[in-house]
A and B are shown apart, each in its own frame.
Chain A
Amino acid sequence: MSSAAPVSELSNEQMNQWFDQRFAEKMAEREANHIPSMTIIATKGTLDMAYPPFILASTGAALGWDVSIFFTFYGLNLLKQNLDLKVSPLGNPAMPMKLPEGPTWIKGKEIPMPNSIMTLVPGFENMATGMMKKTMDQKGIARIDQLRELCIEAEVKLIACQMTVDLFDYGKEDFIPEIEEWVGAASFLPRASKADVNLFI
Chain B
Amino acid sequence: MTENIHTLDTRGLSCPLPILKTKKAISALASGEVLEIKATDPGSVKDLDSFCQQTGNQMIASESIEDGFFFRIRKA
| A interface residues, Cβ below 8 angstroms from B | 55, 58-59, 62-64, 139-142, 150, 154
Q: Is the CB of A58 within 8 A of B13?
A: no
Cβ proximity bits B39-54 to A, threshold 8 Å, 1 near / 0 not: 0110000000011001
Q: Is the CB of B19 within 8 A of A62?
A: yes
Q: How far is the CA of A62 from the CA of B18 in the complex (A)?
A: 11
Q: Is the CB of B16 within 8 A of A55?
A: yes
Interface residues in B12-34 by Cβ distance below 8 A to A read: 12-17, 19-20, 22-23
Given contacts A58-B20, A62-B19, A62-B23, contact A140 B54 (CB under 8 A): no
CB contacts between A and B, total, < 8 Å: 34
When the two chains form the complex, which single residue of A63, A139, A141, A142 contacts B55, counting CB atoms closer than 8 Å? Answer: A63
Q: Is the CB of B15 within 8 A of A55?
A: yes
Q: Is the CB of B12 within 8 A of A59?
A: no
B residues within 8 A CB of A139?
14
| Main SS class of interface, A | loop
| Main SS class of interface, B | helix
Q: How far is the CA of A150 from the CA of B15 in the complex (A)?
A: 13
Q: Is the CB of A59 within 8 A of B20?
A: yes
Q: How far is the CA of A140 from the CA of B9 in the complex (A)?
A: 13
A residues within 8 A CB of B13?
140, 142
Q: Is the CB of B19 within 8 A of A142?
A: no
Q: How far is the CA of A154 from the CA of B55 in the complex (A)?
A: 15
